Each structure stands twice: as structure tokens, then as C-alpha cells.
Amino acid sequence: MKKPPYYNMHKSSGIGLCKSADDSSRKEMEIMQKRTLKYALLGLLCHANLSGYDLYLEFDKALSEFWSAKHSQIYPELKKLTEEGEVSYDIEISGTALEKKVYSITEAGRKDFLNWLNTFEPMQPTAKDVFRLRLFFGAELEQEARLKMLRQQLGEHEARLDHLRNSTSKFENVTDRESPAYFDSLILLGAIMREENYCKWLETCIERLSD
């Protein structure tokens, strides 16, 4: 087959090779983004050996402010990670006869996790917010309905803020900047600041509409 006239130029200059490398990096990034749950599980297993149910509880508590996962997502991903050699498990007896799998991360899994952790992550698109969407069409509402909507939303965010602030007590004695708990406290700080700013914005909206 006759090559296009620019073929040899690309081949000799390395342009084609660079493009191929860029495409490869882009595909690797896409795979990482699609399987974020994989890396969340590997990260949790870096902290401790856990059963599938224990991992679910971590998503329900420690990670709940920024990530979520269901049973139906966690167990298939653990199966896949086991097949890939990135986690292994031991069977433990719970109670008198109930067996459970306790998972641990392998060296291959740790290497893959650290590679992901050191990879630049582009900023994610703005998350969908139904309340902001409704407020966008606020001109269609009567004045009292607008204020009611804003006050209800403010009440919910104030309750969430109180809950987050009450959670800070468990980190009062955490000073080791190399511990997982220290970074957990930074996430909590971010959540508190987020809710404080959201409440301040809602209060400003109410004030301006009330003038």
C-alpha cells in the first residue's frame, strides 16, 4: 500500500510516536477515571484488612461526604480485583459457622494504587444541584414561595453543618500528619467550610430578596 507523503516525515521526526504515547496516556487516564471505585477500595485496604461489609461501612461513614458505593458495586469490584491479583482474601469464621472473606491488598495492588494516587486528576465538572436549578427559575414564583424555598434549604444545610461540627471531637487529639485520621480531619474541615459558605450564600439570597 502506498504511504501518504507525510508518512516518512512523521516516522523520522518521532511525531507519530509522540501522538501514540499521548493516546496511550489518555486511554490510561480514562480507564482510571472509570474505575475510581477500584482505587477507593485499594486505598481503604491500604489502611486495614477488611471484609466486604466493613468496606461498605467505610463508604457509609468515613467517605460519605465525597463518595458513595452500594453493596451491588463493591462485591463485583472486589471479585475483579481478586482476579487481577491486586487483592487477596482469607476466610474467617464469624460466630459459630458463618464464613466471611477478609480482603488485603497485594504488592501489585499497592503499586497500582500509588500510581493512581500520583496521577494528575483534572477538575471534575460542576455537580448537579436540583435546588440551584429551581432557584434559577425563581422569577416564576411568588415572593413568599421563593423565600420559603430558600429558608427550607438553609435549615437543611444548617442541620448538616451542626452534624459536621459535632464530628470534629474525634479528631481533637490527632496530630500525626502521617496518619490516615489526620487526612480524614482535613476532609471534614473541607466539608464544614463548604457548608458554612453554602449557608452564607443562602442567607445573602434571603436578605437580598427581602429588601
Tell me what the mean pLDDT of segment 93-103 comes to: 82
Torsion sign across C-alpha atoms 193, 195, 200, 205:
positive
pLDDT of residue 124: 81
Beta-strand pair 50-51/87-94:
unpaired
- Domain edges within the chain: 35-117, 130-210
| 185 Cβ contact list (under 8 Å, min separation 6) | 168, 171, 174
For the entire predicted model, the pTM comes to 0.70
DSSP, res 95: T
Q: What is the CA radius of gyration of the chain?
A: 24
CATH 1.10.10.10 fits 35-117, yes or no: yes
Residue 197 has pLDDT above 50, yes or no: yes
Distance CA 69, CA 55 (A): 9
pLDDT of residue 65: 81
